[in-house]
Chain A
Amino acid sequence: MLPLLDVRHLEVAFFTKDGVVKAVNGISYTLDYGDTLALVGESGCGKTVSVLAMLRLLPVPPAKIMGGQVLLEGHDLLRLKLDQMHTVRGSQIAIVFQDPMTSLNPVMPVGDQIAEAMQVNLRLGRKEALEQTEVLLQRVGLPNAANQLKSYPHQFSGGMRQRVMIAMAISCKPKLLIADESTTALDVTIQAQIVDLVKELQQELGMTMIWITHNLGLVARLAKRVIVMYAGYIIEMGLTKQIFANPIHPYTIGLLNSVPGIELTVDQDLQYIEGAPPDMIKLPPGCPFSPRCLYRSERCLTERPELVELTTSVAAACWNIDRVHNR
């Protein structure tokens, strides 16, 4: 069966006056119906950009999609005319954005904001759309939903707004829901509630999901598969269980080690990866992680490793896998 989403060699660059920022450098992955995928990596590694490029939401210029294909049920989104993208956005792929404080129109009642999308995408009448909105708001756990339709975003807390954002995203029954760091701006207890809510909704509506996140705890709990990105490259991907149990790439190892454990005492230092991510304008010629890598060899500095399938469920891009694992 055709996968729901098939991303092939997606390449995105930003043309700035300082030079060309190579934000996404030929990433490929597939996503089956009903699957849950997590995209992880440091800030600026291209997670969000790759997703926004898929939906053609990047401002062109300065951004430019340099190549690749994004096949949604076999249709290449990158070849679609820009004025046809609105048939995909919302009704096929929807995003829940990171910051619920700024992602709602402050001068429009929330009911109208949610109903508007349904009026456009599902061609519902205004009354019908508002009725649906009420059902949705109830479903996402907003107390007293009927009376909240006329409320403005500033009358809601962050968690409530994120619930509104979720209601908005699922309103047009998308096949693919992307959560772009949707829990980052919330406090920990609310985070758990929101995550559980989205998980429930995913099951209920049979949605496929991509979680973009820094939160590795979340990944372990949610995603069946995980993609680790670094400097616009996929450096490791595979089943979450396997990667968490046995990370292959030195960067993934570093990333997992830097999660503070509960057994950490006050006088122990936090683990971190030395150095900073590379300048995306002047990427190192070899492996992008080589300047920070503890295991680098001559070859790492000159030749970039390709993503190699190690088992059926894990792939990594590293020249020195043997050395890394025979410590």
Chain B
Amino acid sequence: MTQELASLQVSPVERVKYRGFWTGAWRRFRRNVLAMYGLVFVGFIIVVALFVPVLAPYPYDKIDLAHGLEEMSKEHLLGTDQLGRDMLSRIMFAARPMLLVGFVTQVAALLIGLPLGIIAGYKGGVFDWVVTRFIDFFSALPWYLIVLYLVMVLKPSLQNLILALIITSWVNQCRIVRGLTMSVREQDYIEATRALGLPTWQILTSHILPQVAPLALWGFAVGIPTAVFAEAGLSFLGLGVRPPQPSWGQMLGESGQWWIYKPHMFVFPGLMITLSVLAFQGLADGLRASIDVNVNV
């Protein structure tokens, strides 16, 4: 009994120093296994994509018909495809369009959606009405179909794929930012700053923006896996990255004829798609959990 009580003794409370919002967010993020996996894997992919000309054993387009459809060997660690191109090199090179699509679309979506969302949410009125109708329009239609049609109409290419994804993905960013702005706008302290004579742009940038920034950052992060997955899917259908440039989705598509005899042709690109989408998703979820003050324990 006494022992039990002794073990129950509470250690003296240490004075916890407040080190700022982002330090706390990082502390919470670090404890999240999936998020940390995501961070490491994404970091790894970025490094590979940056240094791929040095790292890759072969150029991505070196054709060697004599050694087509070879299994894994010392010369070709992940085997070769139907044209004798080195699978490992092609998989490594394919990290580039994947990252390009993921980041460029989401940066653009942020640059369009964030200001539109803040202004629409704060100002209201006709501007808000117009923006909201856009949001409604794009939310009502399946975004994948819109992208598919747009790419087909614009001619399949990586640029057009990125353009199509930007057109559909700013809407999400805009919607979440607008919603939060509308609730922040009604706070007393916003009225207080107006009474103090701050012009609107100053209220938006110094009071509203810091409040919506974490959520916009989360919107940015969740947008990436979606875009990456869309790129893989469209390249699989032959509407994305154009040959000879490699992409995981496209490689998966090409493996169709041989996959039953040569599983290495679809296993590795498929694995890469799965792992990277999972990594981005884990990163985004971890980010949300670590910056959302409502789940902060």
- What residues of chain A have their CB less than 8 Å away from a CB belonging to chain B? 55, 57, 83, 85-91, 94-95, 97, 99, 102-108, 116-117, 120-121, 165, 168-169, 172
Question: Is A97 touching B194 in the complex (CB atoms < 8 A)?
Answer: no
Question: Is B195 touching A107 in the complex (CB atoms < 8 A)?
Answer: no
One of B94-102, B203-211, B222-230 contacting the partner: B203-211
Rounded to whole angstroms, the CA-CA distance of A104 and B198 in the bound complex is 14
Rounded to whole angstroms, the CA-CA distance of A122 and B90 in the bound complex is 61
A161 CB to nearest B CB, Å:
11
Provide the B167-201 mask, 1 if CB < 8 A to any CB of A, else 0.
Answer: 00000000000000000000111011111111110
In the complex, which residue of chain B has the Cβ closest to the Cβ of A112?
B206
Question: Is A120 touching B188 in the complex (CB atoms < 8 A)?
Answer: no
A271 CB to nearest B CB, Å:
33
List 14 contacting pairs A-B, 8 Å CB cutoff, sorted by A. Answer: A83-B200, A88-B197, A89-B197, A94-B196, A95-B192, A97-B191, A104-B192, A105-B207, A106-B189, A107-B211, A108-B206, A120-B198, A120-B199, A172-B196
A25 CB to nearest B CB, Å:
24
Rounded to whole angstroms, the CA-CA distance of A94 and B197 in the bound complex is 8
Complex partner residue of B195 from A83, A95, A104, A106, CB under 8 angstroms: A95
Interface centre among B191, B192, B194 (most CB of A within 10 A): B192
A114 CB to nearest B CB, Å:
9
8 Å CB interface, B1-52 against A: 21
Complex partner residue of A102 from B189, B197, B200, B207, CB under 8 angstroms: B189
**Chain A residues with Cβ under 8 A from B245's Cβ?**
none
B159 at the A interface (CB under 8 A): no
A189 CB to nearest B CB, Å:
24
Question: Is B196 touching A117 in the complex (CB atoms < 8 A)?
Answer: yes
**Chain B residues with Cβ under 8 A from A117's Cβ?**
193, 196-198
**Chain A residues with Cβ under 8 A from B210's Cβ?**
107-108
Rounded to whole angstroms, the CA-CA distance of A168 and B211 in the bound complex is 21
**Chain A residues with Cβ under 8 A from B202's Cβ?**
116, 120
Question: Is A103 touching B197 in the complex (CB atoms < 8 A)?
Answer: no
Question: Is B199 touching A86 in the complex (CB atoms < 8 A)?
Answer: yes
**Chain A residues with Cβ under 8 A from B198's Cβ?**
86, 90, 116-117, 120
Question: Is B188 touching A89 in the complex (CB atoms < 8 A)?
Answer: no
Question: Is A102 touching B188 in the complex (CB atoms < 8 A)?
Answer: yes
Rounded to whole angstroms, the CA-CA distance of A102 and B195 in the bound complex is 14
Rounded to whole angstroms, the CA-CA distance of A89 and B195 in the bound complex is 6
Provide the B138-181 mask, 1 if CB < 8 A to any CB of A, else 0.
Answer: 00000000000000000000000000000000000000000000
Question: Is B195 touching A97 in the complex (CB atoms < 8 A)?
Answer: yes
In the complex, which residue of chain B has the Cβ closest to the Cβ of A89?
B197
**Interface contacts beyond A55-B195, A57-B191, A89-B196: sample of 5 additional A-B pairs, CB < 8 Å, sorted by A:** A86-B198, A87-B197, A95-B195, A104-B189, A106-B189
In the complex, which residue of chain A has the Cβ closest to the Cβ of B210?
A107
Rounded to whole angstroms, the CA-CA distance of A108 and B213 in the bound complex is 14
Rounded to whole angstroms, the CA-CA distance of A94 and B189 in the bound complex is 14
Question: Is A90 touching B188 in the complex (CB atoms < 8 A)?
Answer: no
Rounded to whole angstroms, the CA-CA distance of A172 and B191 in the bound complex is 17
Interface centre among B196, B198, B200 (most CB of A within 10 A): B196
A110 CB to nearest B CB, Å:
11
Rounded to whole angstroms, the CA-CA distance of A99 and B191 in the bound complex is 12
Question: Is B189 touching A103 in the complex (CB atoms < 8 A)?
Answer: yes
Question: Is B197 touching A99 in the complex (CB atoms < 8 A)?
Answer: no
Question: Is B188 touching A103 in the complex (CB atoms < 8 A)?
Answer: yes
B21 CB to nearest A CB, Å:
8
Question: Is B192 touching A121 in the complex (CB atoms < 8 A)?
Answer: no
Question: Is A172 touching B197 in the complex (CB atoms < 8 A)?
Answer: yes
In the complex, which residue of chain B has the Cβ closest to the Cβ of A102?
B188
Question: Is A105 touching B193 in the complex (CB atoms < 8 A)?
Answer: yes
Rounded to whole angstroms, the CA-CA distance of A83 and B206 in the bound complex is 18
Considering the complex of A and B, which 3 residue pairs feature the smallest CB-CB distances, nearest first? Answer: A90-B197, A89-B197, A102-B188
**Chain B residues with Cβ under 8 A from A91's Cβ?**
197
**Chain B residues with Cβ under 8 A from A55's Cβ?**
195
Question: Is B189 touching A105 in the complex (CB atoms < 8 A)?
Answer: yes
A133 CB to nearest B CB, Å:
13
Question: Is B187 touching A102 in the complex (CB atoms < 8 A)?
Answer: yes
Question: Is B195 touching A121 in the complex (CB atoms < 8 A)?
Answer: no
